[in-house]
Structure 1
Amino acid sequence: MRPRVVSRALVSVTAIVGIAAGSLATASTSFAASDAAPSKPAASAQDVGVLAVVNLGLSTNQAKGVQRWLKKEWGYNGAIDGELGTNSWKAFQRHLAAHHGYRGEIDGIVGSGTISALQRFLKNNGWGYTGSIDGIAGPGTQSAFKTFANWCVATY
């Protein structure tokens, strides 16, 4: 992860924990004062939108190649910035759903279902993946993904 993204995530989590702790500390006084104005609910982790970047070992240049492929072939409309974030993965999930057995939500979250479909794509299309379809982005998955990304760089 890039330091900027990590910093944003840490600040967001720290803010949520602080808000939640403050809400718990004042809970007893708000219950005791029944005539008090109703308080706002505490913020939750769902309220925070931190962009997850999951490059799976790709360099910025390789990730840009994948984004160019996604833009041309799978409706990616974000920046070509070399950071495979939520919108990049949503486009990739559309590809994986259409051709490689991905059955999850098109949500941009890189979970085991996304990785399993990615492994099928890398295995069945000659990108060099020879491991099992286990949903774990280990060294074999990352190496094959780099081979695919290098093709994207050369082609797109």
Structure 2
Amino acid sequence: MRSSRLVKALATATALAGITTGSLAASGTAIAVTPERSQSAASVPASATEVVNLGLSTSQAKRVQLWLAYDWGYTGALDGLLGTASWQAMQRLLRHYGYTDAIDGIVGPKTVKALQQFLRNNGFYSGAIDGIAGSGTKAAFAAFANTLPMD
């Protein structure tokens, strides 16, 4: 009796552990713990449909979209959400100035490096050109956005 309770308790605990680690199939006889990836979200490329404001508020992102619409071919909504079309326009600007070749709307390390170079050359950024959108890059992007007119 006691051993069947113990077996049930162990089976239940193992099943719960399997569920919480995402695999009920692996919850049978042993639990394998996989290390979490410690990759920063800032260094992971965004998918083509993801909104990536890089720390900008909605109003700051709208300023960027207005500027991109006026000068860089952005035709999307002025909604303060920097999605694929916004980043394609930003990449057109970055390409024009020789910072990047890609115009895919994905904010990966190459786009972030190009943005960092643009921000540095315009006096907003003094950090490393490393492709990681850390706090310095985000602050510089926000400072730049604040210089753009609202309409």
TM-score past 0.5 threshold: yes
1:88-127: CA deviations, max 9, x gaps? 00000000011042122x1100000000000000001112
User: Does the aligned pair in 2 maintain the 1:103–1:113 contact within 8 Å?
Assistant: no
Q: Give the aligned partner of residue 53 of structure 1.
A: 51
Q: Give the aligned partner of residue 20 of structure 2.
A: none
Q: 1:92 aligns with which of 90, 93, 99?
A: 90
User: Does the aligned pair in 2 maintain the 1:93–1:108 contact within 8 Å?
Assistant: yes
Q: Give the aligned partner of residue 80 of structure 2.
A: 82
Is 2:114 the partner of 1:125?
no
User: Does the aligned pair in 2 maintain the 1:87–1:108 contact within 8 Å?
Assistant: yes
Distance (whole Å) between structure 2 residues aligned to residue 146 and residue 74 of structure 1: 19
AA paired with 1:111? G
| Structure with the higher fraction of residues in helix conformation | 1
AA paired with 2:109? S
Distance (whole Å) between structure 1 residues aligned to residue 150 and residue 118 of structure 2: 18
Larger radius of gyration: 2
Greater than 3 Å deviation, 4+ residue runs:
none
1:37-69: CA deviations, max 9, x gaps? xxxxxxxxxxxx972100001000000000000
Distance (whole Å) between structure 2 residues aligned to residue 118 and residue 100 of structure 1: 11
1:119-142: CA deviations, max 9, x gaps? 000001112x11111000000000
Distance (whole Å) between structure 1 residues aligned to residue 106 and residue 48 of structure 2: 12
**Residues 146 and 100 of structure 1: CA distance in aligned 2, closer, same or farther (over 3 Å):** farther
- Tell me the TM-score normalised to structure 1 length: 0.64
Q: Give the aligned partner of residue 66 of structure 1.
A: 64
Q: Give the aligned partner of residue 145 of structure 2.
A: 149
Unaligned runs of 5+ in 1: 1-48
**Residues 100 and 118 of structure 1: CA distance in aligned 2, closer, same or farther (over 3 Å):** farther
User: Does the aligned pair in 2 maintain the 1:100–1:121 contact within 8 Å?
Assistant: no
- Tell me the TM-score normalised to structure 2 length: 0.66
Unaligned runs of 5+ in 2: 1-46
Distance (whole Å) between structure 2 residues aligned to residue 121 and residue 50 of structure 1: 22
Q: Give the aligned partner of residue 39 of structure 1.
A: none
